[in-house]
Amino acid sequence: MPTNHNAIISIVIDDLGMNTRLTRQAIQLDSSVTLSFLPYALDIEGKLELALGGGHEILLHMPMEPENSDKDPGPNALLVDLDLREMLRRLRWAFDKIPCAVGLNNHMGSKFTADENGMATVIGELTVKDLIYIDSRTTPHTVGARLAQRRGLRNAQRDIFLDNDRRLDAIRSQLKETEHIALKNGKAIAIGHPYPETLEVIKEWIPEGKEKGFSLVSISKFTLRLNNRN
């Protein structure tokens, strides 16, 4: 029987757009799942149209500089050494690619999201656009949420990565942990990726989560509840 504990869970699938088959699978998930697209994905317009037609909210999965220089975040990534003009050009280019985005979360970015100046630029642009900032928390040293809160920008932070271990049982275990966090704190955000295993487990879990009484909500509804805005 469902329980009435009022805990909310938001699931985000990011890294979308590069693999057409898996992107289409993600779009078939429950519309409460938020989909985060890389701005340099091929045929991005067609994939966004499908996602919106499926009732999903869209995030810009903005490529940002990682600590490990061997990892490539992709073209037009935000880098800490860029000047303000180039940083804004890249950010606006990405939003032009995904104009339907309700906000942004970081792709990689363990170096960039710890940089005060760079993140101040990102948060400033999001504030002007009245969009949402979701911190993927790829580093414990991130400053994004703190800067967003200072500017009064709707924001939230990832609680769980679902699929650092792609085994089915490991992903199920991460969803159990997501439930525990939501019951403890009243809310939780879980981020997964377009792996066949992740999409399979999320598809099977969603009706179970609803049956247990969790409210599965899009990221904008999550931040509205979290940030007490009507």
pLDDT tens for each residue of the chain, 230 residues long:
456 688 999 999 999 999 999 999 999 999 999 999 999 999 999 999 999 999 999 999 999 999 999 999 999 999 999 999 999 999 999 999 999 999 999 999 999 999 999 999 999 999 999 999 999 999 999 999 999 999 999 999 999 999 999 999 999 999 999 999 999 999 999 999 999 999 999 999 999 999 999 999 999 999 998 766 43
Residue 220 CA to residue 223 CA, distance in Å, equals: 5
Give the E-state strand segments of the chain in sequence order.
8-16, 34-37, 58-64, 103-108, 132-135, 155-157, 160-161, 187-192, 215-216
Ordered by start, the domain boundaries in the chain are 8-226
Say which DSSP state 111 is in: T
Position 226 scores a pLDDT of 78
Position 5 scores a pLDDT of 82
Residues 29 and 202 sit within 8 Å (Cβ to Cβ): yes
Position 216 scores a pLDDT of 98
CB atoms within 10 A of CB 100: 15
Position 189 scores a pLDDT of 98
- What CA–CA distances, in Å, run from 11 to 116, 141, 168, 193, 199? 28, 23, 17, 10, 11
Which H or E run includes 169? helix 168-185
Residue 54 CA to residue 113 CA, distance in Å, equals: 31
Position 229 scores a pLDDT of 44
For 171, what's the count of Cα atoms within 13 Å in the CB-facing half-sphere? 20
Q: Give the global pTM.
A: 0.96
> Domain 8-226 belongs to what topology?
TIM Barrel (3.20.20)
| Main-chain phi, psi angles of 42, to 5 degrees | -75, 145
Instruction: List the structure tokens of 40.
Output: 């340099």
Residues 168 and 197 sit within 8 Å (Cβ to Cβ): yes
Position 228 scores a pLDDT of 63
Position 160 scores a pLDDT of 98
Residues in Cβ contact with 205 at an 8 Å cutoff, skipping those fewer than 6 apart: 172, 175
